[in-house]
A and B are shown apart, each in its own frame.
Chain A
Amino acid sequence: MVTVSEGRGLYVTCSQEKWDKTKGILAQILTTFSEKGGDWKLDRKTLERDHGFLIHISRIFPMMVPYLRRIHHTLESWQLGRDDEGWKYNATNWMQYLDGLEADFDASKK
Chain B
Amino acid sequence: MFDNQDSSAPATVLAVQGLEADVRALSDLFEKETPQLRLVRGTALMRAMYGFSDASGSGFGASWKKRGKIKYRFGLWGSDLDESTSNHRELRNLADMVRCMETGGDLKGTEVFIFTDNSTAERAFLKGSSTSRILHELVLRLRKLEMNVGIKLYFIHVSGTRMISQGSDGLSRGKLYEGVMRGEEMTSFIPLHLNALERSPELRSWIESWLVWNNRPLEFLEPID
A residues whose Cβ falls under 8 Å from a Cβ of B: 2-3, 5, 7-16, 18-19, 22-23, 26-27, 29-30, 33, 39-45, 47, 54, 60-61, 63-71, 73-75, 77-78, 84-86
Q: Are A9 and B17 in contact (CB under 8 A)?
A: no
The 4 closest A-B pairs by CB, nearest first: A66-B128, A86-B16, A11-B37, A40-B15
- Measured between beta carbons, the chain A residues less than 8 angstroms from B42 are 9
- Measured between beta carbons, the chain B residues less than 8 angstroms from A74 are 13-16, 19
- Measured between beta carbons, the chain A residues less than 8 angstroms from B127 are 66
Candidates A42, A43, A71; contact of B22 at CB < 8 Å: A71
Q: Are B22 and A61 in contact (CB under 8 A)?
A: no
Given contacts A63-B128, A74-B13, A77-B13, contact A40 B19 (CB under 8 A): yes
Given contacts A22-B30, A61-B29, contact A16 B16 (CB under 8 A): no
Which B-chain residue is minimally distant from A26 (CB atoms)?
Answer: B27
Q: Are B108 and A67 in contact (CB under 8 A)?
A: no
Q: Are B16 and A9 in contact (CB under 8 A)?
A: no
Within 8 A of A (CB), among B1-47: 9-27, 29-30, 34-43, 47
Q: How far is the CA of A84 from the CA of B38 in the complex (A)?
A: 34
Candidates B23, B27, B36, B43; contact of A9 at CB < 8 Å: B43
Whether B150 sits at the interface, judged by CB under 8 Å, is yes
Question: In the assembled complex, how far is the CB of residue A98 from the closest CB belonging to chain B, in whole angstroms?
Answer: 21
Q: Are A12 and B19 in contact (CB under 8 A)?
A: no
Among B10, B38, B39, residue most surrounded by chain A Cβ atoms (within 10 Å) = B38
